[in-house]
Amino acid sequence: MLIADEFFLIAHNDIRGRAKLHPAATGLGLAGGLLGELILYGHITVANGQVGVIDRRPPADALAHTVLDQLIGEAQHQSVRTWLSFLAQTAVTAVGERLARAGALRRQESRRLLRTTVSYVPIDPNVAAWPATRLRAVLERPDPPSVPDALLLGLVASAGLTREVLWSAGPRAHHRLNLIIPALPAPLKELVAHTEAAVGAAVLRGIP
């Protein structure tokens, strides 16, 4: 699975598809995941608080392609925090729909009074629970994690989801998590730091 997809499943690890996080933290964590995917694909980089496009060729994934097109089309906006805030507004729907197309979730609408709400319900609860279980196993092993896994762990920590991954892990896993994030490649480490700062600011201001 892709970074934002796994983050989504960890953040919504519930048979009814309910988020475990403050809505702003969920959206910002997913936005960090979408930007992180483009960094891993080699399409963008992050440095000194700015996003830079380094490869304009379209990625294979449709959502990544859309995000890259937005970055190219709004080149006057380069602040990482600006793009995190912008992408966070639609990230839950965008990533939820990607997972629904992949067959991992089912889109479910419910009507209450004059309002319709959309949720994304796991088709197989074991599949939905797998990313958190897998990351816990990664932290328990002595081998260093892959860069995508290290990025996902960084975003999980930055959004306040750590206990969803470490709830049954031993002290070794907690210690390793503290070592893995600082060892990320510079663009990914900076992305995680900006995501954490954006989450903290949004929750403090009470942004829904």
Q: Looking at 87-131, which runs of residues are DSSP E strands?
A: 105-112, 115-122
Q: In terms of Cα–Cα distance, which of 37, 5, 27, 20 is closest to 191?
A: 37
Report the alpha-carbon distance of residue 187 to residue 144 in Å, rounded: 19
Low-confidence ranges of the chain (pLDDT < 50): none
DSSP string, 41-91: HTSEEEETTEEEE---SPPSSHHHHHHHHHHHHTTT--BHHHHHHHHHHHH
Q: Are strands 50-53 and 44-47 parallel, antiparallel or unpaired?
A: antiparallel
Whether 10 and 164 have beta carbons less than 8 Å apart is answered as yes
Q: Residue 29 in contact with residue 87, Cβ under 8 Å?
A: no
Q: What does the pLDDT read at residue 17?
A: 66
Domains of the chain, earliest start first:
3-203 (1.10.3630.10)
Residue 91 is encoded by which pair of tokens?
A: 């990230």
Which among 202, 205, 160, 177 is positioned nearest to 20, based on CA atoms?
Answer: 160
Does the pTM of the predicted model rise above 0.85? yes
Please give the pLDDT value at position 46. Answer: 98
Rounded Cα–Cα distance for residues 21 and 27 (Å): 9
pLDDT digits (tens, 9 = 90+) for 148-176: 999 999 999 999 998 888 877 777 788 88
**pLDDT averaged over the chain?**
91
Report strand pairing: 50-53 vs 115-122.
Answer: unpaired
| Chain position carrying tokens 């699975």 | 1
pLDDT of residue 203: 79
DSSP-assigned states of every residue in 144-197: PPPHHHHHHHHHHHHHT-HHHHHTT--HHHHHHHHHHGGGS-HHHHHHHHHHHH
